A and B are shown apart, each in its own frame.
Chain A
Amino acid sequence: MTVTVDPALAGDARRERRFFLSLSLPALFIVGLAAILPILWIIRQSFLTTGGEYTVANYSKVLSSGLTWSALVTTLELSLGTLAICILLGTPLALALASARPRVANLLMAFVMLPLWTAILVRTYGWLVLLRRDGLINAALTGSGLTAEPLPLVYNFTGTLIGMVHYMLPLFLLPVYAAMRDIDPNLIRAAASMGATLGQVIRTVIMPLSAGGIFSGSVIVLIYSIGFFITPAVLGGGKVNPLSTRIERALSTFQDWGSASVLGILLLVLMALIGVMLLAARRLLAQNTVAASHA
């Protein structure tokens, strides 16, 4: 069956589409200028010697250096560690928020969002005050006799991870919370009425339906964490050196823009790879869920 459309209406629709498109032009222009041009510039820079001649030496130098690979490992450890803790802490929290009464949920949400409104430097130095040797946490631990010696909570991997999770948790929570809130409560009631336990409800109804939110949250966490600089620089005590600190070293100590650009491109490729992998995983999972629901 074909639907006949009034040609005048179709023309209107076309005009409308064109009008909306033209409205987006300024934004597209700015994105192009602010994102694409610098990336092209960095790509060009990565092929230049300090004298300005074309070369691939920057690539061979960076890719053959053991420092690059150990920085890459640190980057992955930090971002995957942050993601794992965000999922472990954030998913139950989102579940609690989504099932709370709206008034309570809004109040709790405000507490979750509070760190987002604080500048990252302030937050990072705040952790320093809490975590350092004579900081609040260690003072409480040694004062109460729980530990004899202050724990090494900061200027290491642990401190860096704490700072990063603190930054990323709200950003992870938002899409997960949104997905969980959109679940039709009737589905949960239906599952319960058929005799499903709470665990079964979570596993078979809530988790599959909020998988999209968890994936979006994970993408945000990973993409942000991979480029983190301030937190490892301040809380890592010089011992936690992801790719971002290698870029800083190449720029400020060596004035080696070529190598810094190569490292920047490496970060970009890493982000693209992770993005593609997560999207593929999501598609796969969606297919499995559909298949399972038909089984």
Chain B
Amino acid sequence: MSWLRLSLTAFAISAAMPVHAQTLTITTAGGDYGNAMKEAMWAPAAKELGYDVREETLSDGLAALKMQVTSGAIATDIIHLGSPEGAQAAAQSLLEPLDYKIIDPKSVPEGAKSDYCYPFDSYGTVMSWNTKTYGENPPKTWAEFWDVAKFPGRRALRANAQDSIEIALLSDGVAPADVYSVLSTPEGLERAIKRLEAIKPDVAVWWTSGAQSAQLLKDGEADLVVTWNGRAETVKKDGGAADYTFKGSVIGTDCLGVPKGAPNKEAAMKLIAAMTQPARVAKLTDFIAYGPVNPVAYEGGLIPEDRLKTLATAPENAGTSVFSNSEWWVKNGEAAQQAFDEMMAR
């Protein structure tokens, strides 16, 4: 009798427990940012869902995504991309459509909505400077950043057209709201490139990774650095002689997508929904100064008052900013980058 009871108990237990937990792979950018996403977002969400999540890190998400999808060897279920790359990936049909029955469609403001890559946090491309060089009197606008007579010093910009051409136009007196309409004319792009060419002799380094830009700022290799606000904030917090401003920043968002043909599509959608709950994207700001896209995350004191100032999307920071336009970049990105590279080679 006891034998029967034992085997029945064993049977009941094994039926109650899934044979094996759902396993998923998430690909992030790694570094401080990747760790922040893990601690605040996907690790607690995975625990809640009972998923076994593995992490891969890559700095070149879109190239890897394309490689995986076209070769049919998809190694990740969720991929972290910049929104312009997300839009590009969607245009090349590299992503599954998001399942808005699982993910709450109301969690994204109308302007930021995407059918393929879910925007979850935002960052600003900002002006940062060495406080030893400029003391209390740093440049305040992009026009002053370009003014090498008034503000002598070595500049560092990103070796990429993205954000650089927007900033170039702002420095030339274009209003934030008009940046993309100006850029959409052939003369507009040329104007931006000419402006970059004008500052080129004073650019000591054209950086290629966010970590590199932070290093340049921290080491004083450059006096004026265009970088992402999270990187600048980290240097400042670590005691570097650096400060930055959100005035005139270019605000972009990062997003989460599911590669076309991903092995665990539905579970991936569920994890995206769970890891981007307002409390979790608010918690992300504990680790890195990238603010949530979901407006609900700013309510109910989820983010401490004093930290709001360090986020690109905080209401008082957003006034002079340009919102990066993914659609424009999908359409004109290659031409813009080509023009940028030609300027660099001259």
Query: A residues 147-182 with Cβ under 8 Å of B?
Result: 152, 155
Give Cα A236–Cα B75 distance, bound, in whole angstroms. 33
Q: Which one of B59-67, B119-127, B224-232, B256-264 is at the interface? A: B59-67
- Inter-subunit contact A233/B208 (CB<8 Å): yes
Question: Separation in Å of the A130 CB from the closest CB of chain B?
Answer: 13
Query: B residues 219-249 with Cβ under 8 Å of A?
Result: 219-221
Give Cα A238–Cα B196 distance, bound, in whole angstroms. 14
Q: A238-B207, A241-B344 are in contact. Are A254 and B220 (CB under 8 A)?
A: no
Give Cα A71–Cα B342 distance, bound, in whole angstroms. 11
Nearest neighbor of A239 in chain B, beta-carbon distance? B206
Question: Separation in Å of the B13 CB from the closest CB of chain A?
Answer: 49
Q: A237-B205, A238-B207 are in contact. Are A254 and B341 (CB under 8 A)?
A: no
- Inter-subunit contact A252/B60 (CB<8 Å): yes
Query: A residues 250-269 with Cβ under 8 Å of B?
Result: 251-255
In the complex, which residues of chain A have a beta carbon less than 8 angstroms from the beta carbon of B60?
A: 252
Q: A134-B219, A155-B204, A238-B205 are in contact. Are A251 and B63 (CB under 8 A)?
A: yes
Query: A residues 43-88 with Cβ under 8 Å of B?
Result: 50, 66-67, 70-71
Q: A66-B342, A67-B345 are in contact. Are A238 and B159 (CB under 8 A)?
A: yes
Residue in A71, A134, A238 whose CB lies within 8 Å of B206: A238
- Inter-subunit contact B62/A252 (CB<8 Å): yes
Nearest neighbor of A253 in chain B, beta-carbon distance? B337
Query: A residues 212-242 with Cβ under 8 Å of B?
Result: 233, 237-239, 241
Q: A134-B219, A155-B204, A238-B159 are in contact. Are A249 and B341 (CB under 8 A)?
A: yes
Residue in B92, B204, B205, B341 whose CB lies within 8 Å of A255: B92
- Inter-subunit contact B342/A253 (CB<8 Å): no
- Judge whether B160 is part of the interface by a CB distance below 8 angstroms: yes
Give Cα A249–Cα B66 distance, bound, in whole angstroms. 15
Question: Separation in Å of the B65 CB from the closest CB of chain A?
Answer: 9
Q: A134-B220, A255-B92 are in contact. Are A238 and B208 (CB under 8 A)?
A: yes
In the complex, which residues of chain A have a beta carbon less than 8 angstroms from the beta carbon of B204?
A: 152, 155, 237
Query: A residues 28-43 with Cβ under 8 Å of B?
Result: none
Q: A233-B208, A255-B62, A255-B63 are in contact. Are A238 and B337 (CB under 8 A)?
A: no
- Inter-subunit contact B206/A237 (CB<8 Å): yes
Question: Separation in Å of the B82 CB from the closest CB of chain A?
Answer: 12
Nearest neighbor of B157 in chain A, beta-carbon distance? A238
In the complex, which residues of chain B have a beta carbon less than 8 angstroms from the beta carbon of A239?
A: 206, 344
- Judge whether B334 is part of the interface by a CB distance below 8 angstroms: yes
* Chain B 148-186 interface mask (CB, 8 Å, partner A; 1/0): 000000100001100000000000000000000000000
- Judge whether A133 is part of the interface by a CB distance below 8 angstroms: yes
- Inter-subunit contact A132/B219 (CB<8 Å): yes
Give Cα A70–Cα B346 distance, bound, in whole angstroms. 9
Give Cα A237–Cα B158 distance, bound, in whole angstroms. 10
- Inter-subunit contact B345/A66 (CB<8 Å): yes
Give Cα A249–Cα B159 distance, bound, in whole angstroms. 10
- Inter-subunit contact B62/A241 (CB<8 Å): no
- Inter-subunit contact B345/A70 (CB<8 Å): yes
Give Cα A202–Cα B344 distance, bound, in whole angstroms. 46
Give Cα A233–Cα B212 distance, bound, in whole angstroms. 11
Give Cα A187–Cα B277 distance, bound, in whole angstroms. 83
Give Cα A50–Cα B334 distance, bound, in whole angstroms. 14
Give Cα A249–Cα B333 distance, bound, in whole angstroms. 13
In the complex, which residues of chain A have a beta carbon less than 8 angstroms from the beta carbon of B63?
A: 251-252, 255
Give Cα A50–Cα B89 distance, bound, in whole angstroms. 13
In the complex, which residues of chain A have a beta carbon less than 8 angstroms from the beta carbon of B344?
A: 238-239, 241
Nearest neighbor of A260 in chain B, beta-carbon distance? B63
Query: B residues 317-340 with Cβ under 8 Å of A?
Result: 334, 337-338
Nearest neighbor of B220 in chain A, beta-carbon distance? A134
Question: Separation in Å of the B215 CB from the closest CB of chain A?
Answer: 9
Query: B residues 62-117 with Cβ under 8 Å of A?
Result: 62-63, 66, 88, 92
- Inter-subunit contact A132/B341 (CB<8 Å): no
In the complex, which residues of chain A have a beta carbon less than 8 angstroms from the beta carbon of B334?
A: 254
Question: Separation in Å of the B257 CB from the closest CB of chain A?
Answer: 15
20 contacts between A and B (CB under 8 A): A66-B342, A67-B341, A67-B345, A71-B345, A132-B219, A134-B219, A155-B204, A155-B205, A155-B221, A233-B208, A237-B204, A237-B206, A237-B207, A238-B159, A238-B206, A238-B344, A249-B337, A253-B160, A255-B62, A255-B92
11 extra interchain contacts, Cβ-Cβ under 8 A, other than A237-B207, A238-B205, A241-B344?
Answer: A67-B345, A132-B221, A152-B204, A155-B204, A155-B221, A238-B206, A253-B337, A255-B62, A255-B63, A255-B66, A255-B92
